[in-house]
Amino acid sequence: MTTNDAVTTNDAVTTNDAVTTNDAVTRSGAAATIDTSRPPVRPVKTAAAAKPNLILGEHSLCPGCGEPVALRILLEVLQDLDIVQRTIGVVGHGCYGSFVRIMDVDVLQCLHGRAPACATGIKRVRPGVAVFTLQGDGDMANEGLQEVLHAAARGENITCVMLNNGVFGDTGGQQTATTVLGQRTKTSIDGRDPETHGYPIPVADLVAGLDGVGYVARGAVSTAGAVLQTKRMIRKAFETQLNRGGFSLVEILTMCPTGWFVPTAEGPDYQQGTMEQRYKLGELV
């Protein structure tokens, strides 16, 4: 088994203070070096699968976009709660519409703004499944504000997620109902002016004031800490639904440097200095 020059073994062997495991070891006095002239003989270990494994491909969104981060933590929550096989998602229109192609979850795409209404129908027909909507601020606040408000007022046992970047990203970066004062967009080049454009609509705050609501929170993906906190919010929202606690909503502030006219790397800082000043992060209900 041993020679004066090398030791090869399938088990750990200690020889002159050298320990080897399934590899050839060359000893030179008290020193030991691993023979790298050939591959190791020990079985190759497979790294643990990265979570979530529900993402089937690459997204097509712009560099610096915060929406893929929000999607990842949403899917991680579904896996953590072990409800993937009994979950149905409903998405509207916007940049995130491309997620339908890469999410390994049952998903329905509906008309602009109508996701809460579709989710209501699904939940009433299939009360045993977890139902969520994934919408942008243009989709939820501009096109379908009435849908989310009425679903919340009815206490529908569904979970809505709004990705809020303050622009219509899919159509070129126009102003939305959530664009903050002073924020530049394709239709507010000099910044949103309340006399011309009115004031932004805080969707989460409106929903939080309605009866029938079980959980409302606002998170962000601008920092690692914010991502972790937002994931906890999403989990609480789904737990509220699973416990039949009523309507739940998580608004997630996401970066859109392309629509904001800022360099990609400056997206998180810009978000913290503008949107997060207007829309305070935390749990509202």
b/e 193-212 (16+ beta carbons within 10 angstroms → b): eeeebeebbbbbebbbebee
Read off the pLDDT of residues 39-64 as tens digits, 9 standing for 90 and up: 777 765 665 566 688 988 888 889 99
Lowest mean pLDDT among 24-38, 117-131, 163-177, 190-204: 24-38
Distance between CA atoms of residues 157 and 139, nearest Å: 21
Residue among 51, 49, 54 nearest 87 (CA):
54
Helix (H) or strand (E) holding 7: strand 6-7
What pTM was computed for the model? Answer: 0.82
156 neighbors 115 (Cβ within 8 angstroms): no
**Is 10 a residue whose pLDDT tops 50?**
no
Distance between CA atoms of residues 131 and 279, nearest Å: 26
Read off the pLDDT of residues 232-241 as tens digits, 9 standing for 90 and up: 999 999 999 9
Residue among 231, 269, 242 nearest 73 (CA):
231
73 neighbors 230 (Cβ within 8 angstroms): yes
In this predicted structure, what is the pLDDT of residue 245?
A: 98
DSSP-derived 3-state class of residue 55? strand
In this predicted structure, what is the pLDDT of residue 4?
A: 46
**Is 94 a residue whose pLDDT tops 70?**
yes
Of residues 85 and 173, more confidently modeled? 85
